[in-house]
Amino acid sequence: MSPTGHVMILASAGSGKTYALTNRYVRLLAHGAPPERIAALTFTRKAAGEFFDEILKKLAGAASDEAAAKKLAAEIEVPGLRSADFLKLLRGVTEAMHRLNLGTLDSFFARVVRAFPLELGLAGDFEVLQEHAARLERRRVLRRMFAHTAGGTARQDFIEAFKRATFGTEEKRLGARLDAFLDEHAEVYLAAPDGAVWGHAGRIWPQGNPWLAAADAKKRSAAAAGLKAALPWATLSDKQRSRWEDFFAALPDWAPGAPLPRPIAYIVDNAFKAWPGLTEVTVERKKMPLAPDASLTLRALVSGLVGAELSRRLETTQGMFAVLRGYEEVYDDAVRRAGRLTFADVQRLLRPDTPDGARRLTREAAAEARLFIDWRLDAQIDHWLLDEFQDTSFGQWSVLRNLIDEAVQDPTGARSFFYVGDVKQAIYAWREGDSRLFREIFDHYNAEAPGTIREERRDKSWRSGPAVIATVNRVLGDGEALARLFPAEAVARWTREWRDHESAQPKLGGYAALRTAEDEAGRFAATLQVLTETRALERGLSVAVLVQKNSTAAGLADYLRREGGLPAVAESDLHVGTDNPLASVVLALFRAAAHPGDQSAWVQLAMTPLRAVLEAENCTSGDALAPHLLGEIHTAGFERTVEAWVRKLEPALAADDAFSRERGRQLADAARLFDETGSRDVAEFVQFVERHTVRDTDTAAVVRVMTVHKAKGLGFDLVVLPDLEGTRLAARRRGLAVQRAPDRTVDWVFDLPPEIFYERDEVLAGHVAAAEADACYEELAVLYVAMTRAKRAMYIITEPVGTSQSHNFPRLLQETLGEEWSSGDACWFEAVGASAPEPRPRAGLPVVTASPVIRRPGRTPSEARETAVAGERLFALEGGRAADFGRAVHDLLAQVEWAGAPDTARWAAAWRSSDTAGAEALACLQAPDLAEVWTKPAARSEVWRERAFEIVLDEAWVTGVFDRVVVELAETGRPCRATVYDFKTDRRAGPGLPRVATRHVAQITLYRRVVAVLTGLPVKSVGAKLVFTETAEKLAVPPGD
């Protein structure tokens, strides 16, 4: 039995989570576990770095001092270890650094995929797309979908589906609307790719829905006419009559899915208040009796309105699915199968529970491939340590579950599982963090064998003093107050794991107070007053002001600098490419070079100091600027080009304009990052810079203004909380309603109607209530994180609650603390010291000149082709049209994976509307001589279609795209043979095929070499054939020299 066992630790804020993790790691080492057989995973690179640093510090400290060794040996419960023993452990860790499984979950998953690419359907290595690259791929896919050469009616079907999905929304910029639509809904589709769960009434209401039965428009119109005739108009007051007249006037103009007009909403809401009897209805604060026929027709009309809205929402949801499916089919084929994956894609590749209907990269049995991968991983890792487990998603847990099952159920007891976190700090549910897993996993393993996992709690804070802890307990430990304000389910989850905290530093002086201010300006002023009266920075204390939004952080930091002269930094994302004039001018220059007809860019340049520079360099027209700047970019790259033009602006900057100079440096840094992508596309560079953000450098000598989410894991001597206003905590996050089963599979997806409709449906109201409870729990966690950042002092500043009925943070604080509250010593800061210690002078660093970056010459395979062009064709007007035609044919043929007779008929139906390009592509599919191109080999195989590549060969950077490559696999899954098919759409004139093929030998030889490198095959095992689409013929290309 392992002396470490399986452990779950619930570690409250400041209780020493990192201490527990590092001690666990050292204890495993002390019991003989090889460092490389321990997997310690967390969520951020910063946390992983801190974890690793702390392990080395502990081992190094114990290795160099016997007292420290004795202390550490007692902490890890391995008495008798001496410094020499810890030195041996330290040497083992450092020697195994390159093999350690210590990092983030994302990086660990990526390493697994790189180790098993073929088993997961990848042809070789893959690229993890960062945000900018992922957006470029999205735009490329959308362009491909909207291209005029798209097969059949696919493009029109997609547009019609999008209209259904966005009914009632006006948007002139289709691209922007689509981009936002995909941002909001794409992940939902990938979690539920089965159309049966999207907007199908039988899934949502398995017992039926009476509202839908009344949705008929004719019945609704008849009910409206009947109601109008049955109302007692003679007994109505003028105000009541006006209400009903407005109601009937608005009915014909309303369409389901559109916002409900106020006159209709007023009557419907009051009718629901008297539902279902409807013997009377309140109008203008006066009850109005209804005769039986009036009651019957009003009930029918309201039911019809609800049914019509629900029917429209069902249709909208189905339209959303159609849009997402159409997009994902193209994206999967063009991006994922080309080896360009996001971190989310990597995770989905490894999940054994990928939903039915999801597009997999591998055609092999997923379960069999996963078992093979798990078996290999299980043989390499004995011990699992998972950090911040409350933020783990169910998808991430699904990847690791089989492996951890093996560790927990190991019959020898020599392996272990350890996870630590704090469900009270679960503030990332919006990105799929699933805090319920914490207790579910514990219960699962202990159900059959109680005591399998041992539970430990840590509620003693080593961060916060008694005054702060007393306030935290009073606010968030008051179960009765929470129950009065918030949903029962949220309160039950919160109180289930709550234990009152205590401070491990009872003698640490400090203070906590609740203050009020009338409005935002008052709260900002009160914040400044706290900082000036405590003189915290002068006393060498760390200071943070925590808010809810980045925009608030920027505004408050600016206020503290402007009004108080304090060095305040907003630790929010800074858009360095758009928040300053210098970057704006440089980007205008690049736009003018890329698009010489961009008049707005030229007008902007004419009003800046660059005008004189451009005049001096004779670059005042697009024809002059474009070759000058684009040539500079091509030879020197974007970083050097940006630096050069920023230097040209230097004389125009004021001597004290440090801000613009800093932005110039940051702009060059952004250009360097873009250079790493290898692109020389100016438009892509401009888009990249416009989205690029940086974070201000951390420093102790400033007031750090940041969001609560960014403050998680940090501690400060003084914390001010001036931004706790807002509406009720139990507010469901906007977006599609996604109902999940206990096993997290999706039961149904629905675009919810407005509250006035969904609250009257038992199923929808139940879903919303559960979502509101989850949102409330997450908001309580946000408040807990905010209140537990302070070490010595915490000042909470809110507006008076007054008559407000909102169940929000200020209301909770009033219920638990009263109108005013304080705990501790109000003059706590006087005991700290009058001034900060004198900073020690920093030693100067030697100036090191950077080595020039080696920029390899660019090359494409087509450059190797020998070409002879007839003179009359040099000036032919058809050249551009021929290129467009060639691209169209290539795009169509790229859609074909394998094609037999039935598939050919399907493609024929799809391509009939593609004019001559479709006819030529179809002829290639039907030609007997080309059957081998489309027929899947008997052996295991995979096909690359329009697969882009970049590789260094012969000291040149080679960029190209394979038209089609068939890779045959041995029984082991390794490539054994490959064939390159290169499509040629040239209009042949005169020479026969062999002579034409000779011109392409150099190009195809290069393709063969690249395939050989990518597959690990010898070049002789890579064949190559030219496919001439005009004549539907193929010709083998002999090996080049």
| Count of beta carbons in the 10 Å neighbourhood of residue 937 | 15
Task: For residue 201, tell me if it sits in a domain.
Answer: yes
Contacts of 68 (CB under 8 A, 6+ apart): 61, 62, 83
- Helix or strand or coil: residue 1013? helix
Task: For residue 851, tell me if it sits in a domain.
Answer: no
| Count of beta carbons in the 10 Å neighbourhood of residue 267 | 24
Q: How far out from the chain centre does Cα 502 lie?
A: 37
Q: Compute, in degrees rounded to 10, the torsion defined by CA atoms 1025, 1028, 1034, 1037.
A: -30
Sequence letter at residue 497: E
pLDDT band at 130 (very low <50, low <70, confident <90, very high): confident
Q: Determine the structural domain holding residue 656 and report its residue range.
A: 581-691
Task: For residue 109, tell me if it sits in a domain.
Answer: no
Q: Are residues 988 and 892 in the same domain?
A: yes
For residues 182 and 320, what is the distance between their CA atoms, to the nearest angstrom? 10
Contacts of 151 (CB under 8 A, 6+ apart): 892, 895, 907, 910, 911, 913, 914, 918
Pairing of strands 716-721, 790-798: parallel
pLDDT at 121: 76
Residue 304 to residues 148, 211, 224, 994: CA-CA distances in angstroms? Answer: 42, 7, 10, 73
Between helix 809-817 and helix 466-476 the angle, nearest 10°, is 110
478 DSSP assignment: -
Task: For residue 755, tell me if it sits in a domain.
Answer: no
For residues 461 and 501, what is the distance between their CA atoms, to the nearest angstrom? 7
Task: For residue 842, tell me if it sits in a domain.
Answer: no
Exposure string (b/e) for 338-352, b if CB count within 10 Å is 16 or more?
bbbbbbbbbbbbbbe
Q: Which single residue is written with the structure tokens 């613009």?
A: 660
Q: Is the peptide bond before 861 cis (omega within 30 degrees of 0)?
A: no
Domain finish residue from 338, 357, 379 = 338
- Residue 435 pLDDT exceeds 70: yes
pLDDT one-digit tens code per residue, 188-234:
999 999 999 999 999 999 999 999 988 888 999 999 999 999 999 99
- Residue 107 pLDDT exceeds 80: yes
H helix or E strand, kind and range, residue 732: none
Higher per-residue confidence, 734 vs 993 = 734
Domain finish residue from 425, 458, 491 = 458
pLDDT band at 1040 (very low <50, low <70, confident <90, very high): low
Q: Are residues 421 and 483 in the same domain?
A: no
Q: Are residues 597 and 735 in the same domain?
A: no
pLDDT one-digit tens code per residue, 464-509:
999 999 999 999 999 999 999 999 999 999 999 999 999 999 999 9
Q: Are residues 211 and 264 in the same domain?
A: yes
Q: Judge contact between 30 and 78, C-beta under 8 A.
A: yes
Q: Are residues 525 and 613 in the same domain?
A: no
Q: Judge contact between 560 and 703, C-beta under 8 A.
A: yes
Higher per-residue confidence, 266 vs 1038 = 266
Task: For residue 293, tell me if it sits in a domain.
Answer: yes
Q: Are residues 871 and 817 in the same domain?
A: no
Between helix 394-408 and helix 343-350 the angle, nearest 10°, is 40
Contacts of 615 (CB under 8 A, 6+ apart): none
Q: Are residues 640 and 711 in the same domain?
A: no
Which residues partner with 719 through β-bridges? 544, 794
pLDDT band at 338 (very low <50, low <70, confident <90, very high): confident
**Dihedral sign, Cα of residue 754, residue 759, residue 761, residue 765:** positive
Q: Which two tokens stand for residue 920?
A: 């030529």
- Residue 842 pLDDT exceeds 50: no
Q: Judge contact between 26 and 68, C-beta under 8 A.
A: no
pLDDT at 357: 44
For residues 162 and 132, what is the distance between their CA atoms, to the nearest angstrom? 24
Q: Judge contact between 564 and 544, C-beta under 8 A.
A: no
Sequence letter at residue 673: L
Q: Compute, in degrees rounded to 10, the torsion defined by CA atoms 857, 863, 868, 874.
A: -80
Please give the tally of structural domains in the chain: 5
Q: Judge contact between 950 and 992, C-beta under 8 A.
A: no
Q: Are residues 261 and 292 in the same domain?
A: yes
Task: For residue 621, tell me if it sits in a domain.
Answer: yes
Contacts of 338 (CB under 8 A, 6+ apart): 944, 946, 947, 948
Domain finish residue from 408, 432, 458 = 458
Exposure string (b/e) for 79-104, b if CB count within 10 Å is 16 or more?
eebebebbbebbeebeeeeeebbbbb
Q: Are residues 19 and 39 in the same domain?
A: yes
Q: Are residues 1012 and 881 in the same domain?
A: yes
CATH number at residue 482: 3.40.50.300
Q: Judge contact between 422 and 390, C-beta under 8 A.
A: yes
Closest CA to 528 of 343, 271, 797, 266: 797
Q: Are residues 711 and 647 in the same domain?
A: no
Q: Judge contact between 199 and 749, C-beta under 8 A.
A: yes
pLDDT one-digit tens code per residue, 452-472:
999 999 999 999 999 999 999
Q: Are residues 659 and 808 in the same domain?
A: no
Exposure string (b/e) for 518-546, b if CB count within 10 Å is 16 or more?
eebeebbbbbbebbeebebbebebbbbbb
Going through 285-398 in order, the beta strands assigned E by DSSP cover 286-289, 340-341, 383-386
Q: Which single residue is written with the structure tokens 């576990």?
A: 33
| Average pLDDT over the chain, rounded to an integer | 87
Closest CA to 320 of 458, 197, 435, 233: 197
pLDDT at 617: 86
pLDDT at 140: 86
Q: What share of the chain is helix, strand, coil (3-state, %, to 5)?
A: 55, 15, 30
Task: For residue 300, tell me if it sits in a domain.
Answer: yes
**Alpha helices for 724-868 (secondary structure H):** 755-758, 762-787, 809-817
CATH number at residue 1018: 3.90.320.10
pLDDT one-digit tens code per residue, 361-416:
444 445 666 677 888 888 889 999 999 999 999 999 999 999 999 999 998 889 99
- Residue 849 pLDDT exceeds 50: no
Which residues partner with 460 through β-bridges? 502
Sequence letter at residue 99: R
pLDDT at 837: 47
Average the pLDDT over 776-794 and give the result.
Answer: 97
For residues 465 and 715, what is the distance between their CA atoms, to the nearest angstrom? 12
Q: What is the 3-state secondary structure (H, E, C) of 632-652?
A: HHHHHHHHHHHHHHHHHHHHH
Average the pLDDT over 437-459 and give the result.
Answer: 94
Going through 331-473 in order, the beta strands assigned E by DSSP cover 340-341, 383-386, 416-421, 453-458, 460-461
Q: Judge contact between 61 and 68, C-beta under 8 A.
A: yes
pLDDT band at 873 (very low <50, low <70, confident <90, very high): very low
Which residues partner with 285 through β-bridges? none
Q: Lowest-confidence range among 81-95, 448-462, 945-959, 968-982?
A: 945-959
| pLDDT-above-70 percentage for the chain | 88
